[in-house]
Amino acid sequence: MMNASTYVARKPGPDGTIHYTEEENAVWHTLIARQLGCVQHRACNEYLTGLERLTLPRHRIPQLEEINQVLVPATGWRVARVPALISFDRFFALLADRQFPVATFIRRREDLDYLQEPDIFHELFGHCAMLTHPAFARFTHTYGRLGLEASPKVRGFLARLYWFTVEFGLLNTHEGRRIYGGGILSSPGETQYAFASSEPEFRPFNMLDVLRTPYRIDIMQPIYYVLDSLNDLFAIADMDIMAEVRKAQALGLFAPTFPPKQTAV
């Protein structure tokens, strides 16, 4: 889903197992140990419950079948091994089939704090715990079905919906604002920024506004959209989302709240 990657996804050996190196497993341990501390009292309870169900190992990268043994009975979802980069057609087709794509590589130490393309830590730690929740699972399936049939222009609007929910969604709870978006949950910097910084703006979720809000993937988010309940995702999945997309197309995008990305000369 990007133009290029310096990473190559790992393939299973003859025994069906991906044999990660000692260094790759050490990077996983560093990432998960660090982020477990960050998400406490910041992640929503639904995420923490899902994470407990996954029982992710601390000292090695899990095999995808270990994740499927939890997801399938919970919501009917599975994780699917993919290359580092896949097409939008493939991405939406997998989601429409209740399969969450996971590139089976892990970032190098020099990319520990930031990586544009999603690695196995981002996908498993950031997203899979939420896929144990019926509302999140239903919404993600609906999103995949819509994207699979959409034109490239419409997919641009749908991408904003995914960005401000699945990746960078926040939730109002009795304990305060909490995270359910995997882009925050898998990033120590974004996790702390979303709670400690006075810079971002927090807006109540509004479908039309979300579809019209530009974003950049390489900066801390200036805007987050906040749901009042994770079960709101059921109602969103039942909306006529394509009618809202048509309204957003007619109105156009909001002005960006961030500077344009500088390109190398």
Distance (Å, whole) CA 106 – CA 14: 21
CA atoms within 13 Å, Cβ hemisphere of 10 = 21
Residues 6 or more apart in contact with residue 261 via CB below 8 angstroms = 216, 218
The verdict on whether residue 110 carries a ligand-binding annotation is no
The verdict on whether residue 133 carries a ligand-binding annotation is no
167 within 8 A of 181, measured Cβ to Cβ? yes
Strands 170-173 and 176-179: antiparallel
The verdict on whether residue 66 carries a ligand-binding annotation is no
- Binding residues for Fe cation are 122, 127, 167
> Which residues make up each annotated binding site?
122, 127, 167
